[in-house]
Amino acid sequence: MTSRSLTRTLALAAIVTTTLLTSVPGATAAGRPGPLPPGPLLQRDADAITALGVTGAQARRTTADGRSLVATSGVAEVTTGRAVSPDGHFRVASVTKTFVATVVLQLVGEGRVSLDDPVERWLPGVVSGNGNDGRAITVRQLLQHTGGLHDDYPDYTSAEDFQQHRYDSYTPEQTVARAMAHRPDFRPGERWQYGNTGYVLLGMIVERVTGRPWHTEVGERITGPLGLSHTFRPGASPALPQPHARSYQRFGPGEPLVDVTEQVGQGTNGEAGLVSTTADLNRFFSALLGGELLKPAQLREMKRTVKVGNEFGQLMPRARDGLGLFSRPLSCGGRYWGHEGGDAGWVTAAAVTADGRRGVTVSLSGVVADSDSDVLRVEQAIGKLVDDALCRP
């Protein structure tokens, strides 16, 4: 496997290796206990990530009594050395999938959708051609990355290409049509392979069932009731709310860094597309695993897992995939649940204990990803931070 294939797996952008280490206390969330000092372990783990070449990192650990410990490291802007905000906004990329999966499972709990429904029932004729068959792929298989559909996303090939296409946007239909130009990667149910096309289709199914876009349903069903006021879909807007770090990308070895913060993003249709904060993501995953968002039967279905394979087996050892939710073992026993994502220099990992009482989210504003070993070292450092945060009393 090439370094390029591993790098693109999580969309880890190659950026600056020199960092300035800082620690900034978090702000108090309205109606919730204020943050505690980060503690030496959380700060040390955050610093270990930036020492690998990550420009900036913010990590928030939520304790069983609802308090937050926040650590920041690195810089939010390489030209000024501006400190990383503990409450910075970022593109969560594929963590969006857990929100979409939650909406789908709520619809299942309401009897409006079945996990065994074929895609064809809701989107007739959409998955067809070149061996693709919506009659043979179920909603469950879309949720669990076992449908076999191919991904075909535009990719910036150079700084000039980025500048020309940074504001391009794609409809769900356009994204799916690109995938349908290829044969499936495998027969439905034959194996597991992480992909994005399936979640674009799930977003389309949500709209077909409810009459409203997936992100509207996320707002009505999840972010609104939970008070996640910093979680939203910016759509075609290339800007992020303040505060936020800037993200950078190097389009070739030895080439200069390019500030890629302002762009529409290549995925905004359910496979990705949300902006959030560490506080909001901790609250979401805590509510999800704590049983606030799904009925017991649907939460059990979400936690029915299959083994994760291919390159993800290297990046996430002993990981298993449920329905929009991954699990990995903890060194102190049991497993944690969550999701990771990466886009345009942003890398996010959100995790929570099985009872939802302890959670942690770490957001990175970019990493060096010039080789497989670079990617693996960063992923291992993220894993250590998560394990330490959830295993600590």
Give the residue-averaged pLDDT of 9-32.
34
Task: Catalogue the E-assigned strands of 86-212.
Answer: 90-91, 128-129, 132-133
Each residue's pLDDT tens digit, 311-321: 777 888 899 99
Q: Quick one: DSSP state of residue 381? A: H
Give the residue-averaged pLDDT of 97-122.
98
Question: Of 239, 274, 354, 281, whose CA–CA distance to 97 is shortest?
Answer: 274
In angstroms, the CA 134 to CA 132 distance is 7
Q: Which of 4-8, 103-107, 155-159, 177-181 has the lowest mean pLDDT?
A: 4-8
Instruction: Provide the whole-model pTM.
Output: 0.90
Each residue's pLDDT tens digit, 58-100: 999 999 988 999 999 999 999 999 999 999 999 999 999 999 9
Q: What is the per-residue pLDDT for 207?
A: 98
Task: Give me the residue label for tokens 């649907």.
Answer: 298
Q: What is the per-residue pLDDT for 314?
A: 80
Question: Of 325, 340, 329, whose CA–CA distance to 98 is shortest?
Answer: 325
Q: What is the per-residue pLDDT for 14?
A: 30
Mean pLDDT of the chain: 88
> How would you class 112 by CB atoms within 10 Å of its CB: exposed for 0-12, middle for 13-18, buried for 19 or more?
exposed
Q: What is the per-residue pLDDT for 372?
A: 77
Q: Are 109 and 298 in contact (CB under 8 A)?
A: yes
Chain centroid offset of residue 375 CA:
16
Confidence of residue 28 (pLDDT cuts 50, 70, 90): very low
Please indicate whether residue 125 or residue 9 has the higher confidence score (pLDDT): 125
Give the residue-averaged pLDDT of 157-183.
92
The full set of domain ranges for the chain reads 3-364
DSSP sequence for 244-309: B---EE-SSTTPPPEE--S---S--SSSS--EE-HHHHHHHHHHHHTTSSS-HHHHHHHT--EE--
Question: Of 286, 314, 289, whose CA–CA distance to 376 is shortest?
Answer: 314
CATH number for the 3-364 domain, one of 3.90.550.10, 3.30.1490.190, 3.40.50.2020, 3.40.710.10? 3.40.710.10
In angstroms, the CA 241 to CA 232 distance is 11
In angstroms, the CA 178 to CA 198 distance is 13
Confidence of residue 257 (pLDDT cuts 50, 70, 90): confident
Q: What is the per-residue pLDDT for 33?
A: 47
